[in-house]
Amino acid sequence: MRRATALALAMALAVPLPLGAQTTGSTRLVGRVPPAAQPAIDSIIAIAVAESLPTEPLIQKTLEGSAKNVPPDRLVSGVRRGLLQLRAAHLIVAEALPGQPVPDAHVVAVAAALARGVPEPIVTRLVTLAPTEAPGPALHAVADLIAHHFNPDSAVDLLVEAHNKGLRGMRLLDVAVAADHYLQRGGGRTPAEALAHVRAMLPNVPPAEAVTRHGTNGS
Amino acid sequence: MSPIDPRLQEALDGERDPGTLPADLREAYDRLTGAAQLLAGAPRLSVSARVMAQIRKAPHPQPGESSTQRALRWLGRPRAVTVRLRPMWTLALAAGLTAVLLLPFQNGSTPQPGNAEGVAQFVGHFPGARSVEVVGSFNDWSRGMLHLNDDDGDGIWHGAAVLPAGQHEYMFVVDGERWVPDPLAGRYVDDGFGAGQQNSLLIVRPATAEP
More confident residue, B113 or B202: B202
Is the same domain home to B104 and B180? yes
Is the same domain home to B20 and B95? no
Mean pLDDT over residues B53-72, rounded?
Answer: 66
Cα-based torsion angle of the residue sequence B136, B208, A216, A105 in order, rounded to the nearest 10 degrees: -40
- How close B193 gets to chain A, by Cα (Å)? 5
Specify if B61 maps to a domain: no
Is the same domain home to B16 and B119? no
Q: Do B187 and A144 touch (CB under 8 A)?
A: yes
Specify if B77 maps to a domain: no
A130 touches chain B (CB under 8 A): no
Q: Do B194 and A78 touch (CB under 8 A)?
A: yes
Is the same domain home to B101 and B164? yes
B116 touches chain A (CB under 8 A): no
- How close B80 gets to chain A, by Cα (Å)? 41
A212 touches chain B (CB under 8 A): yes
Find chain B residues with C-beta within 8 A of A171's C-beta. 210
B50 touches chain A (CB under 8 A): no
Longest CA–CA separation in chain B, Å = 121
Specify if B114 maps to a domain: yes
Check residue A14 and give its pLDDT: 42
**Angle at the Cα of B134 from the Cα atoms of B133 and B135, rounded to 5 degrees:** 120
Residue B1 confidence class, pLDDT cut points 50, 70, 90: very low
Mean pLDDT over residues A1-6, rounded?
Answer: 51
Query: From the list A70, A115, A212, which residue is nearest B189 (CB)?
Result: A115
Check residue B83 and give its pLDDT: 56
Is the same domain home to B14 and B94? no
Check residue B110 and give its pLDDT: 57
Residue B56 confidence class, pLDDT cut points 50, 70, 90: low
Specify if B131 maps to a domain: yes
Sign of CA dihedral A41, A43, A45, A48: negative
Q: Which domain holds residue B137?
A: 89-204
Is the same domain home to B98 and B30? no
Is the same domain home to B194 and B111? yes
B133 touches chain A (CB under 8 A): no
Percent of chain A with pLDDT over 90: 77
Which regions of B142-197 does DSSP assign to beta strands (E)?
156-164, 166-174, 178-180, 188-190
Number of alpha carbons in the 13 Å side-chain half-sphere of residue A147? 22
pLDDT digits (tens, 9 = 90+) for B7-42: 888 888 887 888 888 888 888 888 888 777 765 554
Q: Do A115 and B192 touch (CB under 8 A)?
A: yes
Residue of B59, B162, B177 whose CA lies nearest to B129: B177
Q: Do A214 and B122 touch (CB under 8 A)?
A: yes
Cα-based torsion angle of the residue sequence A100, A102, A103, A109 in order, rounded to the nearest 10 degrees: 130
Mean pLDDT over residues A15-42, rounded?
Answer: 75
Specify if B42 maps to a domain: no
Q: Position A19: which residue type?
A: L
- Strand-pairing partners, residue B157, are B124
Is the same domain home to B21 and B95? no
Is the same domain home to B120 and B193? yes
pLDDT digits (tens, 9 = 90+) for A133-155: 999 999 999 999 999 999 999 99
Specify if B84 maps to a domain: no
Residue of B138, B183, B139 whose CA lies nearest to B157: B183
B142 touches chain A (CB under 8 A): yes
Check residue A66 and give its pLDDT: 97
Q: Do A147 and B187 touch (CB under 8 A)?
A: yes
Separation CA A83–CA A89 (nearest Å): 10
Is the same domain home to B99 and B177? yes
DSSP H helices, chain B, are 6-12, 23-41, 47-57, 67-76, 87-108
pLDDT digits (tens, 9 = 90+) for B124-155: 999 999 999 999 999 999 999 999 999 999 99
**Chain A nearest-CA residue for B112:** A211
Specify if B57 maps to a domain: no
Specify if B111 maps to a domain: yes
A173 touches chain B (CB under 8 A): yes
Q: Count other Cβ atoms within 10 Å, centred on residue A65.
A: 27
Is the same domain home to B117 and B30? no
Query: From the list B193, B194, B205, which residue is nearest A170 (CB)?
Result: B205
B140 touches chain A (CB under 8 A): yes
Task: Tell me the C-alpha to C-alpha distance, in Å, between residue B71 and each of B54, B74, B82.
Answer: 21, 5, 22
pLDDT digits (tens, 9 = 90+) for A188-216: 899 999 999 999 999 999 987 655 555 33
Residue B183: CATH number of its domain: 2.60.40.10
Number of alpha carbons in the 13 Å side-chain half-sphere of residue A171? 17
B119 touches chain A (CB under 8 A): yes
How many domains does chain B divide into?
2
A74 touches chain B (CB under 8 A): yes
Check residue A10 and give its pLDDT: 45
pLDDT digits (tens, 9 = 90+) for B164-188: 999 999 999 999 999 999 999 989 9
pLDDT digits (tens, 9 = 90+) for A35-94: 999 999 999 999 999 999 999 999 999 999 999 999 999 999 999 999 999 999 999 999
A63 touches chain B (CB under 8 A): yes
Find chain B residues with C-beta within 8 A of A37's C-beta. none
Is the same domain home to B31 and B102? no
Least confident of A16-20, A110-114, B35-39: A16-20
More confident residue, B198 or A27: B198
Contacts (Cβ under 8 Å, ≥6 apart) of A38: none
Q: Do A212 and B202 touch (CB under 8 A)?
A: yes
pLDDT digits (tens, 9 = 90+) for B74-126: 777 766 656 566 666 666 766 665 554 444 333 455 567 888 899 999 999 99
